[in-house]
Structure 1
Amino acid sequence: MATYVEILTSEFPEIDSELFDYITGVLGNGGSDFEDGEDVFDAIGAVLQEMSPDSKNEDDIRDICQLMFNTLQLSPCPATQRQVLLDAPVQLSQMSDTTPAAKEVQGIWMMKRSQNTMVNAKKLEKAEAKLKAKHERRNEKDSQKTSSPIVLDEASASQASSKKDAKVDQSTKNRSYDIRIENFDVSFGERCLLQGAELSLAAGRRYGLIGRNGLGKTTLLKMLASRNLRVPPHISILHVEQEVAGDETAALQSVLESDTLREDLLSEERRLNARIANGTAEGTESVRLSEIYGKLEEIEADKAPARASVILAGLGFSPKMQQQPTKEFSGGWRMRLALARALFGRPDLLLLDEPTNMLDVRAILWLENYLQTWQSTILVVSHDRNFLNAVVTDIIHLHSQRLDCYRGDYENFVKTKEDRLKNQHREYEAQLQYRQHIQVFIDRFRYNANRAAQVQSKLKLLEKLPELKPIDKEVEVALRFPDNFEKLSPPILQLDEVEFYYTPDLRLFSALNLSADLESRICIVGQNGAGKSTVLKLLMGELTPVDGTRQAHRNLKIGYFSQHHVDQLDLNVCSIELLLNKFPGRPEEEYRHQLGGYGITGELATRPVASLSGGQKSRVAFAQMTMACPNFYILDEPTNHLDMETIEALATALNKFRGGVILVSHDERLIRMVCKELWVCDGGKVWRMDGGFDEYRDVLHEQFRKEGYL
């Protein structure tokens, strides 16, 4: 196919060299900026028209511009970069216009420049200005794309209700604390998450909301908390979603202030006492003060500081930390503070979204015990199987855009669900056989006049049978960590007599001796702040010991999953682009295959990462981490936001993996399924607990009993 240079010289054989240089420069250097033939016409059309006022009209020029654009798409390199291989050296100095060789050489540098230019200078200037403005508009548009934040879809809920329902809500007679929401839909952008669903929450029961990542569990909690779904107005709701804002308020006082009734009564008491002391009080102040004292006694206001302190201590706040300003705490501790405020406030409906994500094993065990005596209603989203077994009285399963309720804990749910699926399958098979039996009769006697009435009766019976739907079974989650690497000989990874601190006055570790190999399955446990993540960074070599040594095999390749994995992801691109930027030069099918192995398939892979659920972002982080094929994994809280099916798949994948694994986790089931060693991190030391997780759990329970939290 002819190049744009050849098209230009063939269509305009008498083009002068100045115009030739200008046009080829515009097309060669700005070829990638043209989106279609019209863009090319906008850039050089006026110049070309000026060159051929008689022979070519505007439509002809547009056609030529389209042809040139087509060649730019196929061969975008500038004309100035094209090279021609000559058969023999050419001595330009010996050539003249009259020599045959000169006529054969087709180069613009051989042409005499015409003294009279064929283009209108003003039109040339205008074309250049137009092209410059186009470039500026495009650059501005690209800048806005990169700088402007992504506008994410918003969640919405709709519910069919009647005037009768509204009257009941407004009536003071309805003081039931049961919640029943019928026939409602929940959407996120254009995606329908729930359709024609029903939700019933009996007062005082504790419900666990479970379901696959991305199906809408968190969105449902938000719709309840915002009352976009109709909850009786007299029922108070608290949703632990955002961390407490940091200021000068002490942690303990922040929890006390969450009880607004107590705070208002105490504030009014102080105001009235001040007026009485100043002698400005009237007779009614004493009466009101007596009423306030009665209400304070009724709500046991004097016991509030002790109760708040117990909650904070159970969640890991030491007496010193309880007096610290909230601004001094990290985000994880502020989330604990938000949970403490919710527990102290005792709402009628407590909504918890993955409460164990922010807690260590000790705090999880305390929370399990605390919630078992909770008097009002709880709806909790959790991936922690043991936590659900310890806390909930009912399971609500979100799937197929509906909610199914099961009595009992999670283990009972699994058993009941399996039985229900078996019964549904048997019923489906029986109905299918019955339908086929009727159809056989119809097909056999359809054209038999003597059986016409029976055939008609069977046809009507077939029409009345309910529409059969196959059993909707959820696709099993399967994860795989590639292990196509050579076995490494020990030592693989070890710390010898390591001492480490961030500041000399606060020594974190001393005489730290740890070792791991490709057969290792190690879990590190300990309270938040004990230094578990620091140990991981020392093992990876991200932190340098103050004293002692770190030794690692020269072929060791570590894959690291951070508990703050979202911070490592570019939220403004889709998952495919994320992998492309990290591992460039591979076909798109390879990126899609990698993501598909972690459940990010189809349209999910082309969505901005920011729009994915927490669990889906975790899966993208796994796909990114494993694409480099490490032979050793260090995982810091890998189960955060993952659904239970994915956690089971993660455990299976880690057990099949032929390399080494060290993880920090609070998920008891994952620890029991994967880990062969348990390292306890506490008091500047890390040691192996031979009794495993059972011994560690017993130690924590004994601590609770001694401290009076049980």
Structure 2
Amino acid sequence: SLFLLILKQIELDSGEFHLPSELVIAQVFQEITNQHLSAMDYTLSGDEALYTTLERLKDDHTKLDADEISELHQTMDQLDGYAAQSKAAKLLTGLGFTQTQFELPVSDFSGGWQMRLNLARALMCRSDLLLLDEPTNHLDLEAIFWLEDYLASYTGTLLLISHDRDFLNNSVNQIVNLSRQRAMLFNGNYASYEAQRREQLSLQQAGYEKQQKEIKHIQHFINRFKAKATKAKQAQSRIKALAKLEIIAPAHIDSAFQFSFTPPEHTPHTLIKIDDVTLGYQNNKVLANINHKFFITDRIGILGANGEGKSTFIKFIAGKLKALGGECEHHKQLKMAYFAQHQLEQLDANDHALGHMSKLNPLASEQKMRDHLGCFNFSNDKIEQKISTLSGGEKARLVLAALVYSKPNLLLLDEPTNHLDIDMRDALSIALQSYEGAMLLVSHDRHLINTVCDSFLLVKDKKVRVFDGSLDDYRTLLQTEPAAKHLKIQKNKNTVSRQDQRRLDAERRKKLRPLYSKLKKQEGLMEKLAIEKQAVENQLTDNSLYDANNKIQLKSLLAKQTKISKDISLAENTYFILLEEIETLEK
């Protein structure tokens, strides 16, 4: 609404609003009208005066006299027009377009890439005020890094709406908080705002509590003495003082979302083995020679520019795409949960949140499903509201609610934070940190990546390889390209003949076979002990066991519980020693 007011698309209900008439405002449009223009021309059209001049210069010069042509070239000089194509090319390249795409018509691009063109057009404008509403939603990490650097050199005033805390931290020096129909200005970036806001709320709550005590004391005096003639004057004085008192409101802290993942029922060590897999569409290879194993302890962030194949890779893992070649082996106890943006569109528009959840488990009570949805901030009204009327954020929360309910041991998350506000993003981050299964994450939210990922895979040049570094290292890498030889990618630099390689592989398999056999036995032992422990703990829930008459039986059960716990600890230690041996050999 604030942006619409600035753009004069809505009027004030009350009060005053002033905007200098000569102010040039740039905004990112949600639609594209000139679909026939090339990407380059569409970007150039963001500078209206320059684009008009360029178009006139393209006209037949026989229609223009010498003075008109001279005037147009003079205007080009004033607008720095001869460098315009270079500027537009830098904008398009920074936002991920290749040089071969510059001359393609806008209509050839998908919706997400058209939004990038709208952003390029807005940045091309020589503006005094730049309005950006969630500009990172359609960008990958590479484009976000570039946009941050670009905005750092922008000389006008930037007004930015974003749920990306890292982007806010790196792009703004003031925060306006719109809450409860009021606007409050805070100096500093988002991290500074959070600290100031916490302190402000703490002081406000302390002031409120102190004032409430004072009001209670005054009211007690009034109630006690207003009927007594000797004290009536003092009582009236306090009534007036109470009426003049500026009431401090209690601190309003936005309700925090909170949910957690139920531990998976099974946690096998190796979930997926991929051997020499090739992926693509109709024989068009997107990724080739993929070799990787996913373990229960993996928490992997998938890096790579848009179009490199990140979503293709995660679709294959999810079983939504068949390989063109190679093998992929899933553990029989693997249970995946997959979050992707297209799932929001696939929700039954005529159903409601409660109905959607009930389909996952028809035997579950309605109250249990209501409680589960409540963790995702679905009120009673929203729970029975048609899905077609829900916002993008509410649909995303519903898909997440269903995903959490399924108790997976492998989470596949493809841009899960799109449409989510900062509170929900924080809740997702906290829940994922305590999640006990494996996770693969594609996201442009750096805060989420940094808080939940332990390692990275880089999808680049039709390969999927381990990236041995942090997110900051990845940004540095992008800034130093095309020095691709400096990539921190795990490679085996020792080249061997195919015959020698087969011999080495055979020797390794020979050593691994007995270890895998021991590992399987150890898994069976751990499962057996877990069942025994659960049986003892179930017996210990019997209240009658704690009667004096059953003292001997209780003591026996407690001793058995202690022994089983020690056996489990010993079995787990043996299990992890075997794992280390196996992983060392596999490397």
With the length of structure 2 as denominator, give the TM-score of the two structures.
0.76
2:414: which partner in 1? 636
| SS of equivalent residue, structure 1 residue 680 | strand
Question: Which string of whole-angstrom CA distances, capped at 9 and with x for unpartnered residues, describes residues 523-561 of structure 1?
Answer: 101100010011111212222222211111122221111
Give 1:406 deviation, angstroms.
1.2
Contact in 1 for aligned 2:274/2:293 (Cα 8 Å): yes
In structure 1, what is the equivalent of residue 162 of structure 2? 382
Aligned pairs (5 A) from 1:69-108? none
Structure 1 pair 695–425 and aligned structure 2 pair: CA distance change class (3 A): same
> Where do residues 563-574 of structure 1 align in structure 2 (5 Å cutoff)?
563-574=341-352
2:55 maps to 267
RMSD across aligned C-alpha pairs, in angstroms? 2.4
SS class of match (1:638): coil
- Deviations along 1:219-267, whole A, 9 cap, x unmatched? 5434544521466454344432425468443211221233222222233
Matched residue, 1:502:
281
- What per-residue deviation string (whole Å, max 9, x for no partner) do you get for residues 338-358 of structure 1? 111111123333222221121
Question: Structure 1 stretches of 5 or more lacking a match?
Answer: 1-218, 277-284
Higher mean C-alpha displacement, 641-650 vs 433-442:
433-442
Displacement after TM superposition at 1:306 (Å):
0.3
Matched residue type, 2:38: A
CA distance in structure 1 between the aligned counterparts of 2:46 and 2:95, rounded to whole angstroms: 17
Q: CA deviation at 1:293?
A: 2.2
Q: Distance in 1 between matches of 2:373 and 2:442?
A: 24
Among residues 600, 609, 613, which one is paired with 2:387 in the alignment? 609
Partner residue, 2:215: 435
Q: Indicate how the Cα distance of structure 1 residues 315 and 422 shifts in structure 2: closer, same or farther if over 3 A, else same.
A: same
1:367 CA drift (Å): 0.2
Separation in 1 of the partners of 2:440 and 2:4? 36
Shift, 1:452, TM fit: 2.4
> 1:203 maps to what in 2?
none
* Change in 2 beyond 3 A, CA 1:269/1:316: closer
2:222 and 2:235 in contact (8 A); partners too: yes
Equivalent pairs, count: 478
Residue 88 of structure 1 is matched in structure 2 by none
Give SS of 1:449's match.
Answer: coil
SS in 1 for 2:137: helix
Check if 1:536 corresponds to 2:324: no
Residue identity in the other structure for 2:471? F
Q: Distance in 1 between matches of 2:239 and 2:48?
A: 68
Letter of the structure 2 residue corresponding to residue 263 of structure 1: Y
Aligned ranges 1:33-48 → 2 under 5 Å = none
Match status 1:492 vs 2:293: no
2:571 alignment counterpart: none
Shift of 1:596: 1.1
Tell me how far apart the structure 1 counterparts of residues 369 and 445 of structure 2 sit (CA, whole Å). Answer: 30
Letter in 2 for 1:550: C
| Distance of 2:429 and 2:335 partners within structure 1 | 21
- Shift of the 272–540 alpha-carbon distance from structure 1 to 2, 3 Å rule, reads closer
User: Cα distance 1:239–1:572, how it changes in 2: closer, same or farther (>3 A)?
Assistant: farther
Shift of 1:593: 2.2
Name the structure 2 match of 1:514.
292
- SS of the equivalent of 2:444 reads coil
Letter in 2 for 1:327: S
> d(CA) in 1 for partners of 2:146 and 2:335?
38
Q: Is the 8 A contact 1:494 1:539 kept in 2?
A: no
Match among 191, 194, 203 for residue 423 of structure 1: 203
**Worse overlay, 331-340 or 448-457:** 448-457
Is residue 133 of structure 2 the alignment partner of residue 353 of structure 1? Answer: yes
Secondary structure, counterpart of 1:347 in structure 2: coil
* TM-aligned CA deviation for residue 563 of structure 1: 2.9
Hey, what's the Cα distance between the residues in 1 that align with 2:215 and 2:396?
46
**Counterparts of 1:267 and 1:539 in 2: how far apart (Å)?**
50
C-alpha distance 471-408 of structure 1, shift in aligned 2 (>3 A): same
The alignment-based identity, stated in percent, is 35
Which residue, out of 649, 658, 675, partners 2:453? 675
Residues in 1 aligned to 2:73 and 2:384: alpha-carbon distance in whole angstroms: 61
Cα distance in 1 for residues equivalent to 2:34 and 2:361:
39
Displacement after TM superposition at 1:591 (Å) = 3.4
Task: Indicate conservation of the 8 Å contact 1:354/1:641, yes or no.
Answer: no
User: What amino acid maps onto 1:673 in structure 2?
Assistant: T
**Distance between the aligned counterparts of 2:25 and 2:344, measured in 1?**
29
Rate the CA distance shift 1:468–1:390 in 2: closer, same or farther, 3 A: closer
Q: Which residue is 1:596 aligned to? A: 374
CA contact under 8 A between 2:457 and 2:467: conserved in structure 1? Answer: yes
More moved, 655-664 vs 607-616: 607-616
Quick one: distance in 1 between partners of 2:242 and 2:125? 58
Q: Name the CA distance, whole Å, in 1 between partners of 2:99 and 2:57.
A: 28
1:573 positional shift: 3.9
Q: Report the CA distance shift for 1:517/1:355 in structure 2 as closer, same or farther (over 3 A).
A: same
Q: Name the structure 1 match of 2:235.
A: 455
* CA–CA separation in structure 2 for the residues paired with 1:300 and 1:411: 38
Q: Secondary structure at the match of 1:398?
A: strand
- The residue type equivalent to 1:509 in the other structure is L
Deviation string 1:278-330 (CA, Å, 9 cap, x unpaired) is: xxxxxxx4333333222221111111100000000011111112232322222
Aligned residue type for 1:631: N
Structure 1 counterpart of 2:403: 625
Secondary structure of the residue that 1:396 maps to in structure 2? strand
1:290 and 2:290 aligned:
no
Q: Who is 2:194 aligned against?
A: 414
User: Do the aligned residues in 1 keep the contact of 2:279 with 2:312 (CA within 8 Å)?
Assistant: no
CA offsets per residue over residues 457-497 of structure 1, 9 Å max, x none?
122212221234211111112122232x3233232122111
Q: Distance in 2 between matches of 1:246 and 1:418?
A: 47
1:365 match: secondary structure: helix
Tell me the CA shift for residue 368 of structure 1: 0.1
- Which string of whole-angstrom CA distances, capped at 9 and with x for unpartnered residues, describes residues 76-95 of structure 1? xxxxxxxxxxxxxxxxxxxx
- Aligned: 1:556 with 2:338: no
> Which consecutive unaligned segments of at least 5 residues does structure 2 have?
12-16, 485-587
Report which of the two structures shows the higher radius of gyration computed on alpha carbons: 1
2:320 partner amino acid: E
SS of aligned partner of 1:428: helix
Question: Are 2:98 and 1:310 aligned?
Answer: no
